[in-house]
Amino acid sequence: MKAKVIRSLFLLTWTMLAHSIDAQPEEASQNRFDLLAKALSPFIALATPNGNDGNHALDLQVLILETSGLAPELKGGRPHISFEAPDKLLAQISAPSGVITIGRHGDKVWAFPGRQLQPLLDRLPTEAGKKRTKLSSFHFTQAEAVLLPALLPVRAAGSVSVGGSTFRVLDVGLMPELKMTGWSARVWIRPENESIAQIAVHSPSWSATLLIEKTDFAASFPPETWEPTADQRADLVEIPMRALMPLLERLWRVAPATPARSR
């Protein structure tokens, strides 16, 4: 399966290179594929043997500027995410009832506050909430990391100037082979250093625009980063990985409107 994906990546890369020769000239001296690859490479490299200049960890904070199809309370929230390849994560994220913390260390996933999350977990379908699955780790070879952006079809969407700064705007999709129909993103990139300033994510049922406030890279974080604090240990819940996304959807999604009954 992995070999098939790699062959697809090589084929796609060759197709895009051939296309870029015949494409119309793009602004500046950098085409859209190169710009996106350079913007993503610091993040993808975290999961490679050499890391991003030796760094394998990321401390990320974003500001939620706009949402659609999600709970309105999320707007203005500041999710804070720490990640260390291949299998460590700590996320502090807003929910309508307050901030929740989700941690992962290896195959263990925990969340706080348990008294708020356990009732939602209990109401999930059995196959989502109860079944245990082995968690995936994030790791790529150097070759895979170079080719990974080729999975993202890119369209140039011009430039915008905000507050005296100019940003290149790219519309990014996914290959049909990934079977994620309806998912896309618009990315604002600073051309002077190829860093991502803002991203708008669109799914078939919701969308969110995120301002990147902080991206700090490190070789690693202290081991206690991935463990609950003393105050959190008394109110934890263990979450099967299969249940994580359905749980977050229940926390964040706006319930569909109930049709009015006819009289």
User: How many domains would you assign to the chain?
Assistant: 1
Q: Please indicate, yes or no, if residue 26 is contained in any of the structural domains.
A: yes
Tens of pLDDT, residues 207-236:
999 999 999 999 999 999 999 999 999 999
Side-chain-side CA neighbours of 135 within 13 Å: the count stands at 17
Q: Please indicate, yes or no, if residue 160 is contained in any of the structural domains.
A: yes
Average pLDDT, rounded, for the chain: 83
At 154, which CATH number? Answer: 2.50.20.10
First to last CA, the chain: 57
Cβ contacts of residue 175 below 8 Å, gap of 6+?
8, 12, 151, 152, 153
126 pLDDT tier (thresholds 50, 70, 90): low
Return the minimum-mean-pLDDT range out of 44-53, 124-133, 180-189: 124-133
Q: What is the pLDDT of residue 253?
A: 74
Tens of pLDDT, residues 44-65:
999 999 999 999 999 999 999 9
Q: What is the pLDDT of residue 28?
A: 45
Buried b or exposed e, range 102-123, using 16+ CB within 10 angstroms: bbbbeeebbbbbbebbbebbee
Provide the domain limits for residue 128. 2-252
Q: Please indicate, yes or no, if residue 261 is contained in any of the structural domains.
A: no
In 3D space, the residue among 74, 96, 92, 75 whose CA is nearest the CA of residue 83 turns out to be: 92
Q: Please indicate, yes or no, if residue 263 is contained in any of the structural domains.
A: no
pTM: 0.80
15 pLDDT tier (thresholds 50, 70, 90): very low
Q: Please indicate, yes or no, if residue 260 is contained in any of the structural domains.
A: no
